[in-house]
Amino acid sequence: MSKIDTLICARWIVPVTGTQRLLENHAVAVHRGAIEAVLPIAQARERYTPNETIELESHVLLPGLINTHTHAAMNLMRGIANDMPLMPWLTEHIWPIEGEFMSPEFVADGTDLAMAEMLRCGTTCFNDMYFFPDVVADRVDRTGMRAAVGMIVIDFPTVWAANAAEYLEKGLALRDAWRGHSRITTVFAPHAPYTVSDEPLAKIRTYADEMDLRVHMHVHETAFEVADALEKNGERPLARLKRMGLLTPNFLAVHMTQLNDDEIATCAANGVHVLHSPESNLKLASGLCPVQKLIDAGINVTLGTDGAASNNDLDMIGEMRTAAFIGKVAANDAAAVSADTILAMATINGAKALGLDDITGSITPGKAADLCAVDLDAIETRPTFDPVAAVVYNASREQVSDTWVAGRRLLADRKLTTLDEADILARAARWQTTLSGHARDRNNS
Ligand SMILES: CSC[C@H]1O[C@@H](n2cnc3c(O)ncnc32)[C@H](O)[C@@H]1O
Ligand SMILES: [Zn+2]
């Protein structure tokens, strides 16, 4: 008998990679934060002496979900400006509010609120792009989640940095500060082609190549973005990024709703990853990302919510359902973007995009125990003929009972173990009071 920290026994396990699509009545042995073995429950009970055994008799155990595009602290702006397209939303509402209220406190309180929401829907890892990334990293560290934190760059001065050189300097300092951390990595995060000029982009390209770091950017989000770039520069944004040498396997392009066949072929040939954010694209009426076409071209497509100010939630369970349904419509094919494809997008594909697939993204011995459990014993998910289809097509995030990151149970029977719910709500309420007058003024003007 070997001693282990935890034995998780589940009705179903979906490893996501490997030869088995679905395991019934299996257990995951977890020791020192890692998955030690996946085996039938009876064998596991004979082989291991766990400190703790968790029985999930009506649950499906999945790899933790990976939200590959967030602006976590924007949870504090959820619902502040609705029913408008991207550019007026950004320029008339979001950027003025950020300009006035952005602070380390805002980012700490907003990121905690976001992490609480993410853990409650089974998310274990997120890829964030926001101001005060040093604060984001610190909150992630305290909470125990896994995250890729953005070294942001944008052409205008903000409270975080005065110019491109300072954004880069602070980003690189952030990278140095967190290098070697087991759960926190850093990625370059130039905001978008229309907000980052050639000089900082060229530097990012050089640094990313030298350091083998990811570059996370909003690209071809709207038809306006592409038409505006064509009018101003005579070039589509993707053509500019290609010319500048940014389209490599380190490049993570968010949104990508405006793509012609040549651009899809170029992205595929250069190993670009696409971070699909369907609900944000729908709410801002930005357009549809041709997910099945991208997959058919061999592109790694992942799933992200975007910020709660444009989604308006960080619910990866709901996002999977939306992505599946609009993926089918975009392809005009009910067989397109299947439930299994969607689950891979929300797990292993996200890990690949972030360069973390040796560590997370599937239930595989040797990887970190980043897991979530969904209780399918509910009116909404019975009968359960196929647990994967049940999770993607009809489960809700309230059915997520437990979430583990590196073997640590951060959500236990729907209770957060490292975040104080009452305190998070109190802080969110204070920000609501602070921001609400400003939201009213803008909405009435
Ligand atoms: C440089 S920090 C990130 C910056 O991005 C803004 N933002 C949030 N959502 C979107 C989106 O869908 N497209 C473009 N920009 C977005 C956010 O408000 C911050 O200013
Ligand atoms: Zn975004």
Question: How far apart are alpha carbons 291 and 288 in whole angstroms?
Answer: 8
In 64-122, the DSSP E strands lie at: 65-70
Tell which one of 67, 78, 188, 191 to mutate to probe ligand 1, the residue whose CB is within 8 A of the most ligand atoms.
Answer: 191
Those residues of the chain that have pLDDT short of 50 are none
User: Scanning the structure block, which residue is given the tokens 């998910």?
Assistant: 381
CA of 367 to the centre of ligand 1 (A): 32
404 pocket-lining for ligand 1 (C-beta < 6 Å) = no
Q: Which residues are annotated as a binding site for Zn(2+)?
A: 69, 71, 218, 306
Euclidean distance between CA atoms 220 and 113, whole angstroms: 29
Task: Evaluate: CB of 129 within 6 angstroms of ligand 1.
Answer: yes
- Identify the pLDDT of residue 417: 99
Ligand showing the shortest atom-to-Cα distance for residue 309: 1
Tell me how far the alpha carbon of residue 64 is from its chain's centroid.
Answer: 11
Give the chain's length: 445
CA distance 127 to 81: 24
Q: How many angstroms is it from 305 CA to the middle of ligand 1?
A: 12
Show binding-site residues for substrate.
98, 191, 221, 306
Taking the C-alpha atoms of residue 375 and residue 396, their distance in angstroms, rounded to an integer, is 10
Amino acid at the residue 105:
E
Nearest CA to ligand 1 atom 18: 94
pLDDT at site 437: 79
What is the C-alpha end-to-end distance of the chain, expressed in Å? 70
Burial class of residue 45 (count of CB atoms within 10 Å of its CB; 0-12, 13-18, 19+): middle
Q: What is the pLDDT of residue 440?
A: 57
Report ipTM (2 d.p.): 0.99
pLDDT of amino acid 154: 98
Instruction: For residue 300, count other CB atoms closer than 10 A to its CB.
Output: 23
Predicted local distance difference test score (pLDDT) of residue 442: 58
Rounded Cα–Cα distance for residues 52 and 424 (Å): 29
Q: CA 108, CA 219: separation in Å to the nearest integer?
A: 27
> Alpha helix locations (H) across 332-420?
339-345, 348-353, 387-389
Q: What angle do CA 399, 407, 275 make, to 5 degrees?
A: 65
* Residue 75 near ligand 1, beta carbon < 6 Å: no
The angle at the Cα of 337, spanning 335 to 343, to the nearest 5 degrees, equals 130
For residue 187, what are the contacts with CB-CB under 8 A and spacing of at least 6?
127, 148, 149, 150, 151, 213, 214, 215, 216, 252, 354
Tell me which of 94, 313, 435 to substitute to probe ligand 1's pocket, judged by most ligand atoms within 8 Å of the beta carbon.
Answer: 94
CA dist list (Å): 229 to 137, 201, 256: 34, 16, 15
pLDDT for the residue numbered 224? 98
